[in-house]
Amino acid sequence: MATAIITTEDLYDFKMELISEFKKLLDHKKPEAPLTKKYLKSAEVMDLLKISPGTLQNLRVNGTLPFTKIGGTILYEYSEILRILNLNKVS
């Protein structure tokens, strides 16, 4: 059995190759951006705005955030969310 000596330079080259491969994989698997969707579900709105389910419900109940309910699914128009954010912007 032959013995191979691994140098620090070999480890560095391996690390750079590994990082390059990870970058290629991540570039091919980009998640769907909310910008491409016209309507968002509640979970997507909570992730987008970083709010809790209770806060989202309060925004619906007090009329701040318009929504559409189809069956049991509540949908929010992405453009409306942007409009409300712009209306409430503090300068």
pTM: 0.60
Cβ-in-10-Å burial (0-12, 13-18, 19+) of 45 comes to: buried
| Distance separating alpha carbons of residues 40 and 42, to the nearest angstrom | 7
User: Which tens digit of pLDDT belongs to each residue from 2-32?
Assistant: 788 999 999 999 999 999 998 888 887 666 5
CATH number of this structure's domain 34-87, picked from the four choices 2.60.40, 2.60.120, 1.10.10, 1.10.150: 1.10.10
Give the per-residue pLDDT at 35: 59
User: Which tens digit of pLDDT belongs to each residue from 38-88?
Assistant: 999 999 999 999 999 999 999 999 999 999 999 999 999 999 999 999 998
Supply the DSSP string of 20-66, one letter for each residue: HHHHHHHHH-PPPPGGG-SEEEHHHHHHHHT--HHHHHHHHHTTSS-
| Average model confidence (pLDDT) across the chain | 89
| Distance separating alpha carbons of residues 75 and 43, to the nearest angstrom | 10
